[in-house]
Structure 1
Amino acid sequence: MAPMGIRLSPLGLAVFCLLGLGVLYHLYSGFLAGRLALFVLGDQAERAGPGGPDAAPGSLPEGTVDLRELLAVSVLAAVKGGEEVKRVRESNALNEKAKGKTREGAEEKMTSGDVLSNRKMFYLLKDAFPSVQINTEEHIDAPDKEAISWDRSIPEDIKKIIQPKKVPAESVTVWIDPLDATQEYTEDLRQYVTTMVCVAVNGEPVIGVIHKPFSAYTVWAMVNGGSNVKARSSYNEKTPRIIVSRSHAGKVEQVARQTFGNKTVIIPAGGAGYKVLALLEVSDKKQEKADVYIHVTYIKKWDICAGNAVLKALGGHMTTLTGEEISYTGSDGNDGGLLASINVNHKALVDKLPDLEKASHK
C-alpha cells in the first residue's frame, strides 16, 4: 500500500503561515521587552547606587545610616515612650524611688514612667539602628529587653520636608531622655513633662525631637533639613521674659534684673524640653512663652541635646554661659551653664550676663 501524503488546502496553508508568523512575533516581542527591562533596571541601579535616593529603607551600605530614617524612628520612639509615661501617671503606679543626689544636693527621683519609657525608646532605636551608639538617662537591664520593631515607614510630613542624608554610623550618637521633668511628674505637673531624642553627628546636634505626652504634641527638626515648628515672629531683647529652672530661679533673677531692669519677667519652670518649647511658636495652650532660656548649674546632655538641635535648625543658639558650643561626645554632662535664644543677638546676651557664669560655679 502506498504511503499516504499530507495535503494542505490553500486555506489550511494560509492558517499555518499565520500561526508561524504569530509565534515569531511573540518571540521577538519578548526579546525586546527583556532588553528594555534590563536597560531600565540598569539605569535605576546607576542612579540610585548603593543606598542612593531611590534605595529602599534599610538597604544602605554597611556602616551607613540615613538621617531621615533616624529622624522618623526618633519621633516614633519619643511618642511610644510618652505613651508609657502617660499610662503610668494616669494609673498612679509611679513606684517612686530615689536614685541619688544632684551636685547641688537635691534628691533625684526615678519612677516606673522613667523606666518603662526608657526601655521602649532604647530598644526601638537599637533594633532599627544596631550599629549606632545610644546614650540614655536610665540603666538598661538585658533581661528586660523590649521586643519592639520599626516598620521602616517614614511619615508623610517628614517625607515632604526632609531629604535622605547618609552619614557613617560611627559618627552618630543618640541621646535619649525618657522622661524630662521627673520631679514635676511626681507632683502631677504634667505640662512640664516631655520625652526627647537627639541625634548628634561628630558631636554636633543635628536632629531633635521633643514630645509632650499629655497633650500629644511633638516638635521635630533637622539642622539644614527642616522642621515642623517655627520661631515666633517677635522677641523682646531689651526686657526679655527669661525662663529658668524652678529650683534655681533666685540665682538668675537678681542678675537678670540688674542687667535688664526691674520689668524683666522671670518664669520658673520644670524640664529643659519645656523651656526650649517656650522659645518657639507652638500650639499647646499650656505652653508659656519666653524670650531667653537660662540655666546656671551643671546639666546632663540628654536633657539639652534635643532642644539644642531644634534651636540650631531654626537659626537659634544654645551655648554655655560664656558662649561656647556644647559638644555631645565624651562626658554625659555640661558644666558651663546654659544660655538659649532665637532671633536675638546671642553674643550680646552672653556679654550682658557675665555674672551668671560665676553663679554657675557657686
Structure 2
Amino acid sequence: MRIQAIQQSMAELGVRRFLISDPKAIEYVLGKRFHVSERFLACLFQDEEVVLFLNRLFPYENEAIEIVRFHDIDDPTLLLTQRLNGPDLSIDRQFASGFLLKCLKHRPDLNVSDGSFIVDRIRARKSKDEQAKMLLASQINDAVMGEVVDRLRVGVSEVDIAAFIRRRFDELADGVSFDPIVAFGSSTADPHAQCQDRKLEEGMPIIIDMGCIKDGYCSDMTRSFSLKKPWNQEIYDTVKEANLAGIRAVKPGVRLSEIDYAARKVIEEKGYGACFIHRLGHGIGTDVHEPFDVSGVSDVVAFEGMVFSIEPGIYLEGQGGVRIEDLVLVTEDGCDVLNAYPKSNEVLP
C-alpha cells in the first residue's frame, strides 16, 4: 500500500523517477530494515516499476518489486544509471555524494533534484493504526516518568536514573527510542547534556528527556523539575506557557513556522529569547526524529495525522535550564496531546 502511496504522490507532483536511499525510508515503504553499512542501497520508482538495488550479501525476497542484485566487485551506480529511462531523477536528501558523483560520471546528462518531500509527506501522515501505536508508546512513557520521579532524591546520580529508564523500557516496551537525557544542576543548560555521575542536591534544576519504542513506533517527552525548592519559578512558568501556546496554535492549515513563533513569542516577551536556542519541535514516528521540523524557517503546512513535538526551552549558560516537551497529533480542528504526565509538579517533595 505504501508503494502505491509513493507512486500516487509522484503522479501528483509530476515526478517520473524517484530514488530512495535512506534505509529508514526504505524500511517504511518495504517493511524491511537493511543494515548495509557503507554499501550501496537504493529503491527506484520509475513509471510503474519499483526496483530495489541490493547487495547479494543481504538475502531478501519481495514479489511486489524487482530486485537487482550485485556483488561487492560490481558498480551499482552503473547498474542504476543503465536502468534509468530518462535524464530527470529526483533523489532523497540522504543519497551519498560519492554515489551521486559516480552516477553523474556515468550519465552526465542527469538532471538531479531533491524529491525528499515525496516520501516525507507520506511518512508524516500517520494512519489510525500508527496513531494508536504512538499513543501506546506515549502512555508507557508517562508511566515510566512517574516511576522516575519517585526516584529523584538527594544523592541519586544522572547515570543511575538513565540506567533505570533503559531497564524499564526494556521491560515494558522494545527499548529506548534514544539515549535518555538526564541532567542535574548546571548541565541542564545543555539541551543535549551527556549523563554523568553528578549527584542530585536540593534546589538543583532537573531535566528528564526520554522515550521508548513500542511495536515499531517512538515516544518522546521532556519534563523539568527541581528538588524541595524552586530553581527559577519565572523560567519554569515561562517555558510552560510557551509549551501551551505552541499546542494551542496547532491545527490543519497552519504553517509549522507559525507554531514555532507562537511558542517563541512567549519566551521573547519575557526577555529570554536569546536563551531559546533550538527549534520548537520535530516529526516523530518509526524514528524519533522524522520530517518535518517545527522551526521558524519551515514553510510546511500542518495537516491531519501529523505527529510532532512541542518542546520550548530556556537555557542559562553555567546555571541551568528548563524544557517541557509533549507530542501532538494534528486532528481535524486542532490537536490531541499524546502525553498525559502533568506539568504542574515542577517542585518535587
Length-normalised TM-score, structure 2: 0.26
Length-normalised TM-score, structure 1: 0.25
Larger radius of gyration: 1
Larger helix proportion of the pair: 1
